[in-house]
Amino acid sequence: MKLFSKNHLLLIITLLFSVFSYSENFVYDLHIESQLIEYSYPNLDLRGIKNIKLIASQENSPDKQKIIRAEIDFANAERLVATNFIRDGIYHKATVNGAWVYKQVIVEIEAHDALTTNEFISIRLYIAESKSNLNPANNGVGMMLTHGFGQLKEITPKKVADVTSLKIDGKRVTLKLYQKPTITNQEEGFEVLINWLGHGEKLIRSHTPFPADRYYHHKAVAIKTTPLLNGPTGDEVDYQIMYEDGAGVIHAADPVLLNYILDKEFPGVP
């Protein structure tokens, strides 16, 4: 039997690592903007969902996420926690035993493959009428208790990729680069927290060489600064963000003139 060569083994290990390196958990807040009560049990008031916290796992592919935990807080009822989610197409389903006065309650969340900030998703709670031991996703759905619809906001704790500092106009400037590019209603890109001693602190988003729908494929790894002795207005500094793609390959974003960013974010500084 022919044995694998050392190079073959290294290639297999590299490929396996690139697959498993996708595994990561993300935390979201779901703000319910509209809720309907379909069925009400005496003395059980499910009106007014205060907050929903979702935890999703990103495994094997940056385009696929599976909800692994949902914590639903109500204004006038005990918290409902669901953890055994099974994906069924665009639906994430979980069965909660002994919820409130019911033997089983089914939690059904409708969402895309990859959850994103500002995405609108819906959540439904049903009374379970029958149970499938072979496939919990096929548990019999009975009467709907409530239906909510809202907008997602990612609240995953930020991970720092790199920190560097230098002096500009005699004052120290510290650049803190976060791993994940993010998107808001106004801006998108790599997050860089700028602290300019004596002048304050600003969070900026630096342009990415890839579109927002590819953010899950990339993460920032380093930020480099380069002095420009003959810049447009004299001695100036560029910064450049290094980032890693899903296969582990390191790339460099376009350089950005730091002095321009400082003038823009800290107006009035002489």
Q: Is the pLDDT of residue 7 over 70?
A: no
Q: Please report where in the chains the tokens 């680069």 appear, as a residue.
A: 177
- In terms of Cβ atoms closer than 10 Å to its own Cβ (0-12, 13-18, 19+), residue 198 is exposed
180-184 own/partner pairs: CB under 8 Å, 24+ apart? 180/156, 180/215, 180/219, 180/220, 181/205, 181/208, 181/212, 181/215, 181/218, 181/220, 182/117, 182/154, 182/215, 183/116, 183/117, 183/118, 183/212, 183/215, 184/117
Q: Are 85 and 101 in contact (CB under 8 A)?
A: no
Task: Tell me the average pLDDT across 199-208.
Answer: 93
What is the pTM assigned to this prediction?
Answer: 0.70
What's the pLDDT band for 38 if we cut at 50, 70, 90?
Answer: confident
- Buried (b) or exposed (e) across 27-37, using 16+ Cβ within 10 A? ebebebeeeee
What's the pLDDT band for 212 if we cut at 50, 70, 90?
Answer: confident
